[in-house]
Structure 1
Amino acid sequence: MAPRPRNPGSKDLPPNLYRKTDKRNGVTYYTYRDPVSNRMFGLGSDKAKAIAEAVAANMALQVVPPTLSARMAPEPAVTDRKFSDWVVEYRQILLDRELSESSMRNLHMRLNRLEKAFGERGIRSLTTMDIAENLSALVKEGKAQMARVMRSLLRDLFMEAMARGWVDTNPVEATRAARVKVKRQRLTLELWKAIYEEAAQPWLKRAMELALITGQRREDIASFVFKDEVDGFLQVVQSKTGTRLRISTSVTLECIGLSLGEVIRRCRDRVLSKHLVHHHRTISRAKAGTTVMLDTISKEFAAARDRAAEKLGLDLGANPPTFHEQRSLAARLHDQQGRDAQQLLGHRSAKMTDLYRDARGAEWIDVA
């Protein structure tokens, strides 16, 4: 019987060698199928090396055909190394990706959690059921978002393990991502203005103005320095993604009657500081002119928010809007003025920007 014609995409490969491209990172991996036992062997992502090994394996099959007794012999045991040993290798792979400090810190914390769950297990022994049960436990604890994040990490971890030959399959592929119901309330312009009035610290007002006009994250706002203003633009390198933005200082939000240039000028006060958002006087260990800690920004915003809600008679529920919700409000306000919210927020996909544009029922919809 004539052999089945090969897939057009594999015509440049020798017999029994197959390729598969990971849609997430675009990397192509190669596997060799033993035509005698039908076992699959991962050969990594190096095409030339995979072809050389496949050609050598095919020649060996032709020179020394396996006998019936050899084919009936039990398969040799495959060394199953500990999951924790692979995590050591995987941490080095993450370092080579040159991720931000905050991203690496979060990844290491999640890997510590995985080591606690699977560390002593053989990595080849882990099944889809093992992974599914671990993720399901997180969902039952009310941590659906964490379950999604851990699934993504596990999927990448096993994909890299396949590329290095530690495993032959990825048990995470067959699992389903947990459904996440967003609980945090959106921030309305009315509430923002009330919080702004309740802001006890001058630096909090400046931080809120910058958040609404630039649409940037808390970490980036706290790191803004005056020298970031160059030739009429505020230059931003987002700490989370590395995205580089140049926001014109003429950008204005009509609803608050301020431009970015005006806010930057407001940040210059009698205190000598290189930071836009800085302490205007020394309090305890926080010296005048130094940058404001991220936790301090969040706590002061939350305190002003609670005072504003009480004055307005609002019940913000168990998940009131945080400082980060100004990013969503900024996307909606700039969108109303005809600006490209995706460019402003530095998102790579319009789908992500659409999530920020969604008011989740917090605002009225005007029908003319």
Structure 2
Amino acid sequence: MAPRPRNPGSKDLPPNLYRKTDRRNGATYYTYRDPVSGRMFGLGKDKEAAVMEAVAANHAEVLRPTLRARIAEPVVEADRKFADWLIEYDAIYPEKGLSVHTMRTTRSRLRAIKEAFGNKYIRSIRTMDIASFLATFTKADKAPMSKAMRSLLRDVFTEAIAAGWCDLNPVDATRPARSKVKRSRLSLELWKAMHAATDRPWLKRAMELALLTGQRRDDIGSMLFKDDHDGFLHVVQSKTGARLRLSTALRLEAIGLDLAGVIKLCRDRVVSKHLVHHSRSAGGAKAGSSIKLNTLTLIFAEARDQAAANLGIDLGPHPPSFHEMRSLAARLHAAEGRDPQKLLGHRNAAMTEMYKDGRGSEWIDVA
């Protein structure tokens, strides 16, 4: 097969060497075309050097390795299993300063990710694979879990790129699931009805502490009498590790209570180190022992349903949980002029605004 006719502007160049002028800056560049593979290689702007290297590549055996090294196919690194990378990642994510609760949750999610992708080669995992995996949660009406899995997978691949295991993050092109919060908010009216109706002193104390401090269920259950000193109740949040000092003079006029008074009420005839504790032995629980978190959730729900029935309130398919007292606390403290962001231990105001959103559970007064 006869070679293509040379461009008039390349007549003075050896075979396989071409020149091109950049219209933007007027500079002339030289390019060598490998006659075997057809691949093009830039040789810069120096015509004399380009001619010498092209001639050497075409004819001279001694100088041929100089350009041949550039023409040679790059060595492709062997792909490795995704499960092997997860072993490496297992040593990375604990260094991110995660709380014990988040570490436990992350380990559980990583097991699910390993089950889905462990046997695949990491470079072979595509956006479609990730999207299909995330869709299983969305279709099961678990949009928040889909978003959490996407966030974790994105970090897993980001770290893999940094370590040289792959070059692209297949998660970036996926869309996070759209989730709509279904759980209804807890109103002050319902809270007061629950508080008045329950015959369990420990539930009253837990509800009072939750509304005064705005802390999560885990942190309410973990509060100890020894954490009350120097005029402050000291709380280290289990989820975030945030360290809060809550003044025991903190008072919520909406319920007519202050923190010091509630802590005093927690001290009953039973010796206990826990603020919220069993006042008497029952079943497998001993007097003075802490209340199990599942028990807090269950008895709170029973009191909520009974109070709602008494008030004639329809709570719908997603009634407020124990955690909704955290939102009610944010709204009540904000209404009384306190900063709910500090109280809740949030790092950013956007999260606090979400908690302050009543989701239509409260009346709006129009003067």
* TM-score in terms of structure 1 length: 0.81
Q: Following the alignment from structure 1 to structure 2, what is the Cα–Cα distance between the partners of residues 36 and 131?
A: 37
Does residue 269 (structure 1) correspond to residue 299 (structure 2)? The answer is no
Which residue of structure 2 lines up, in the alignment, with residue 335 of structure 1?
Answer: 334
1:196, 1:351 → 2: CA distance?
A: 30
Report the equivalent of 1:147.
146
Q: Give, as a single letter, the amino acid of the residue that structure 2 aligns with 1:104.
A: M
1:180 aligned partner, one-letter code: S
Alpha-carbon contact 1:84-1:119 (below 8 Å) kept: yes
2:95 is aligned to 96
Residue 313 (str. 1) matches residue 326 (str. 2): no
Query: How many angstroms does 1:163 deviate by?
Result: 1.3
The question of 1:78 aligning with 2:77 is answered: yes
Report what 2:220 is aligned to. 221
Could you tell which deviates more after superposition, 160-169 or 71-80?
71-80
Instruction: Let me know the Cα RMSD of the aligned residues.
Output: 2.2
Q: Letter of the 2:275 partner, please give it.
A: L
Note closer, same or farther for the CA distance 1:215–1:66 as it changes in structure 2 (3 Å cut): farther
Query: What does residue 365 of structure 2 align with?
Result: 366
Give, as a single letter, the amino acid of the residue that structure 2 aligns with 1:247.
L
For residue 113 of structure 1, report the CA deviation from its aligned partner: 0.7
Query: 1:173 — aligned with what?
Result: 172
CA distance in 2, matches of 1:190, 1:257: 14
AA partner of residue 266 (structure 1): L
CA distance in 2, matches of 1:77, 1:244: 50
Q: Which amino acid aligns with 1:80?
A: D
Equivalence map 1:157-172=2 (5 Å): 157-172=156-171
Give 2:133's aligned amino acid. N
- Paired residues of 1:199 and 1:301 also in contact (CA < 8 A): no
Whole-angstrom distance in 1 between the partners of 2:216 and 2:136: 31
Distance, in Å, in 2 between the alignment partners of 1:114 and 1:236 is 34
Report the secondary structure of 1:264's partner residue: helix
Mark the runs of 5 or more structure 1 residues left unpaired by the alignment. 5-34, 38-62
Partner-residue secondary structure (3-state), 2:244: strand
Partner of 1:288: 287
Question: Which structure 2 segments of 5+ residues have no match?
Answer: 1-20, 25-39, 43-62
How many percent of aligned residue pairs carry the same amino acid?
A: 59
Please state how far the C-alpha of 1:66 moved relative to its aligned partner.
Answer: 5.7
- Structure 1 CA distance for aligned equivalents of residues 122 and 194 of structure 2: 51
Match of 1:87 in 2: 86
In the TM superposition, 1:183-332 aligns within 5 A as: 183-332=182-331
Instruction: Note the C-alpha offset of 1:72.
Output: 5.0
Determine the C-alpha separation between the residues in 2 that align with 1:205 and 1:198.
10
CA contact (8 A) 1:334 1:341 kept: yes
Paired residues of 1:200 and 1:304 also in contact (CA < 8 A): no
Task: Please state if 1:136 is matched with 2:126.
Answer: no
Matches of 1:36 and 1:260, distance apart in 2: 76
Name the SS for the 1:92 alignment partner: coil
Separation in 2, partners of 1:318, 1:133? 29
SS in 1 for 2:281: coil
The C-alpha deviation readout for 1:56-93, integer Å capped at 9, x for no partner, is xxxxxxx99862x5555444332211111111111221
Post-superposition CA distance 1:93-143 (Å, at most 9, x none): 123334322211111111111111111001111111211121122111111
Structure 2 distance, partners of 1:151, 1:64, is 50
Q: Is 1:344 matched up with 2:311?
A: no
Please give the alpha-carbon distance, in whole angstroms, between the structure 2 residues aligned to 1:190 and 1:110: 38
Superimposed CA distance per residue, residues 237-295 of structure 1 (whole angstroms, 9 cap, x where no aligned partner)? 11111111111111111111100010000000000001100111111221111111111
Distance 1:258 1:65 in 2: 86
SS of residue in 1 equivalent to 2:319: coil
Distance in 1 (alpha carbons) for counterparts of 2:210 and 2:64: 71
Q: Distance in 2 between matches of 1:244 and 1:105?
A: 20
Q: What is the letter of the counterpart of residue 102 of structure 2?
A: S
State the aligned residue count.
312
TM superposition shift of 1:36: 7.0
1:120 equivalent in structure 2: 119
The 3 A distance-change label for structure 1 pair 66 and 197 is farther
TM-score by length of 2: 0.81
Q: Which amino acid aligns with 1:76?
A: V
Contact 1:199 1:300 in 2 (8 A): no
Matches of residues 23-102 of structure 1 in structure 2 within 5 Å? 67=67, 70-71=69-70, 73-102=72-101
Contact kept in structure 2, 1:198 and 1:305, CA below 8 Å: no
Q: Which residue matches 1:10?
A: none
Q: What residue is the counterpart of 1:182 in the other structure?
A: 181
Secondary structure of the equivalent of 1:304? helix
**Alpha-carbon distance change, 130 to 253 in structure 1, aligned in 2, over 3 angstroms:** same
Deviation at 1:315, TM superposition (A): 1.5
Partners of 1:327 and 1:356 within 8 A in 2: yes
